Structure 1
């Protein structure tokens, strides 16, 4: 009689995805993405802007300042990097 172990049928959870603007590309294989979103205040109902910076792994150094990008959560790559670049949605043109 063969017993199935619970770990064999483990399903991976969905990963978080965000969109934002690249504000720094000075580091090698790392970019800083700035996300800004509007949310309503729970009690007062007024819309508030919330913002956050993410350190993102960019393996091929393809994104530049001002680009609109899509990022996805991943395993920790370094102390502050646990996001990776999925795609560039819109290139910044001067």
Structure 2
């Protein structure tokens, strides 16, 4: 079993699927040629067993075994609820 699993904190952008959410994780990266920091984001599909998260919530996700073709992340906690 893998000891150090990746975890990310992101914003839920979609909760229309059953027991699934789409989480957008934003970071800043150094551009290799221009040496400036640019905004970068990626969307992850995560498993939400209890359908707990809603659009706009800040959540923590962790990698897990593949649940389906594109889902290999699961929801750990809702860090902050959307207003």
Matched, 1:60 2:53: no
Aligned length: 83
Higher strand share: 2
- C-alpha offsets along residues 6-35 of structure 1, whole Å, 9 cap, x if unaligned? xxxxx6331111110000001100000011
Higher helix share: 1
Matched, 1:88 2:82: no
In the alignment, structure 1 segments of 5+ residues that lack a partner are: 1-10
Higher relative contact order (CA 8 A, sep 6+): 2
Q: Which has more radius of gyration? A: 1
Calculate the aligned-residue CA RMSD, in Å: 1.2
Matched, 1:69 2:59: yes
Q: TM-score, normalised by structure 1?
A: 0.83
In the alignment, structure 2 segments of 5+ residues that lack a partner are: none
